Amino acid sequence: MKIEEIQDEIVEEFSMFDDWMQRYEYMIELGKSLPLIEEQYKTEDNIIKGCQSKVWVHAELKGDKLIFTADSDAIITKGIIAILIRAFSNQKPMDIIEANTDFIDKIGLKEHLSPTRANGLVSMIKQLKLYAVAYQTQLN
């Protein structure tokens, strides 16, 4: 699936819930399905700066596609990174670089996060895109 299609799918899933509580519960569920980063990659270098809780992300190129794995010590944060990884993992670096991230606003995620968590979300997206840029350079 293309990034855009996955994003639409996520937006649709979130629109089924009536209130924020259900959305949070769903986010917590998604956190549990997060493709976990291998312990060896849980290093200081792989911690995303700007998050209040610890978030580690690792990226690996398989063929021409970038695979992300991650983890966090906070479960809601895990849900957030799981949503992002679902949208961006197993995609070509160039597609990740060019991807629009409006779907975050459509889910209503940002408005339900505290300012520090919302900043963390922006840092996560930035980090995923930076990985894509780095691997795109390798592919060139």
Partner 1 sequence: MANGFTSILTKGDELLVSAMEHHSNIVPWQMLCERTGAILKVIPMNHEGELLIEEYTKLLSGNTKLVVCNHVSNALGTINPIESIISLAHEVGAAVLIDGAQAAPHIKIDVQKLNVDFYTVSAHKICGPTGVGMLFGKEEWLTKLPPYQGGGEMIAEVTFEKTTYAELPHKFEAGTPNICGGIAFGAALDYMNSVGFEAIAGYEKELLEYATKKLLAIEGLRIYGTSEHKTPVISFNIEGIHPYDIGTILDKLGIAVRTGHHCAQPVMDYFKIPGTVRASFSFYNTREEVDILVEGVKKAKQMLS
Which residues of the shown chain bind partner 1 in the complex (CB under 8 A)?
Answer: 20-21, 24-25, 28, 52-54, 73-77, 112-114, 117
Q: How far is the CB of 68 from partner 1 (least distance, A)?
A: 21
Indicate the residue among 50 and 61 with the shorter CB distance to partner 1: 50
CB of 29 to partner 1, least distance (A): 10
Contact at 8 Å (CB) between 4 and 100? Answer: yes
List Cβ neighbours of 80 (8 Å cut-off, separation of 6 or more).
Answer: 27, 31, 109, 113, 117, 120, 121, 124
CB nearer to partner 1: pick between 5 and 20: 20
Cβ contact 37:58 at 8 Å: yes
51 counts as catalytic: yes
Considering the complex, state which of residue 74 and residue 130 has its C-beta at the smaller distance from partner 1: 74
Cβ contact 88:94 at 8 Å: no
Instruction: Give min distance, CB of 54 to partner 1, in A.
Output: 7
**26 residue type, one letter:** Y
Closer residue to partner 1, CB minimum distance, 74 or 94: 74
Name which of 4, 21, 18, 16 is nearest 76 in CA terms. Answer: 21
What tokens were used for 123?
A: 């840092």
Q: Which residue in 3, 10, 34, 51 is the catalytic one?
A: 51
Measured from the CB of residue 129, what is the shortest distance to partner 1 in angstroms? Answer: 24
| Enzyme catalytic residues | 51
